[in-house]
Homo-oligomer: A and B are copies of this chain.
Amino acid sequence: MPETARRTDRHSATRYGNRPTMKDVAARAGVGLKTVSRVVNGEPGVTPETEQRVQEAIDALGFRRNDSARVLRKGRTASIGLVLEDLADPFYGPLSRAVEEVARAHGALLINGSSAEDAEREQELGLALCARRVDGLVVIPAGDDHRYLEPEIRAGVATVFVDRPAGRIDADCVLSDNYGGARTGVAHLIAHGHRRIGFIGDMPRIHTAAERLRGYRAAMEDAGISVADAWMSLGVTVPERVRTAAEEMLSGPEPVTAIFTGNNRVTVTVIRVLAEHSRQVALVGFDDIELADLLRPGLTVVAQDSAALGRTAAERLFRRLDGILAGPERLELPTRLIARGSGELPPAD
């Protein structure tokens, strides 16, 4: 039992199980440490015979290089961090996957964590990742003050913000055209004859929510429609609040005939409310939703490409690591209106 034998070694019992190191391989092959390093890393300058001896020792011992040690010496960890809101949210899955693919193409691993939309937890996670010395950081902001990352960025952690801009620091960010997308979506409803159009969105302190509201206002103003306060509702996107907001807009003497929803969570709740509603109400939602085409009517949306957001951010991150970028930039990705039926319903006046 070589297993038991090794356990009795000087000091290897609890450290990484009891794995052999390059030193062990060198001893067994009767060569120097550096020669093992050469073989393991495929560096030239080793005779075939020596290489074979080393390889045999590697196989016999079951050696696998400890990248954790390698990384310490080399200075780059070949890993990047991704701080997002919630990995379980379907919007972030494709984004995270896209970041991962870019990282993979650059030989890096991806460490990700969810902030749960909590600013403190975002900071805790971001700094923990920096302590691990990730080479770069992709952050989907939960908080609105990112000065805590300034020393890290200065120290060389390539950082790109996605979906929402960084707060109180100047940094790269990749956003969707929230303003333009919402404006187009609302204009679409107006083009189909609506004038009393409701807007239900997320808390106004969230950048995307504010921008989408701004797009709504702009579209309405473009059409010369003055917006009633009762048509706008911003707040947390929990079902209860959204339901109440929708029901209020849909009641009274002058109910809205169409609703523009500010994100996927709001949209889902409003679809449920409308399903129970007697009158037909048009609906356009920000964010696409799986199976949107199977609903009756099909759901018309302003879609953002979450994978493209992730890919763009990660590519920028690695270009920054390669040192080929100048100052911070703000990139904006287009959205796309997808008409499927719900946004083309006429006003039920």
Binding site for B on A (CB under 8 A): 3, 14-19, 62, 64-69, 71-72, 75, 77, 79, 86-90, 92-94, 96-97, 100, 104, 109-114, 127-133, 151-152, 154-157, 268, 271-272, 275, 289-291, 294-296, 307
Contacts and interface: CB of A to CB of B under 8 A. Distances in A.
Contacts of A68: 68, 71-72, 77, 132-133
A154 B94 contact: no
A72 B70 CA distance: 10
A88 B308 CA distance: 13
A70 to B, nearest CB: 9
Contacts of A112: 100, 110, 112
Contacts of A111: 79, 109-111
A113 B105 CA distance: 12
A128 B155 CA distance: 27
Question: Taking the full assembly, how many copies of this chain does it contain?
Answer: 2
B77 A87 contact: no
Nearest to A71: B68
A69 B72 contact: yes
Contact of A291 (B15, B75, B291): B291
A113 B110 CA distance: 7
A110 B125 CA distance: 11
Contacts of A272: 294
A37 to B, nearest CB: 15
A67 B290 contact: no
Contacts of A75: 14-16
A132 B109 contact: yes
* A interface majority secondary structure: mixed
B154 A65 contact: no
A72 B68 CA distance: 7
Contacts of A96: 87-88
B110 A290 contact: no
Nearest to A99: B87
Given A17-B154, A154-B3, A157-B17, A97 B87 contact: yes
Nearest to A78: B132
A111 B82 CA distance: 10
Nearest to A130: B64
B87 A133 contact: no
A15 B72 CA distance: 9
Contacts of A69: 72
**5 residue pairs, one from A and one from B, having the closest CB atoms:** A17-B156, A17-B155, A15-B75, A88-B97, A88-B94
B290 A271 contact: no
Contacts of A88: 93-94, 96-97, 307
Contacts of A90: 90, 93, 290
A130 B112 CA distance: 17
Contact of A131 (B18, B66, B132): B66
Contact of A132 (B62, B67, B129, B295): B67
A156 B296 CA distance: 54
A4 to B, nearest CB: 12
29 contacts: A3-B154, A14-B75, A15-B75, A16-B155, A16-B156, A17-B154, A17-B155, A64-B127, A64-B130, A64-B131, A64-B152, A66-B133, A67-B131, A68-B132, A68-B133, A72-B72, A79-B111, A87-B100, A88-B93, A88-B94, A97-B114, A109-B128, A268-B290, A268-B294, A271-B294, A272-B294, A289-B290, A291-B295, A295-B295
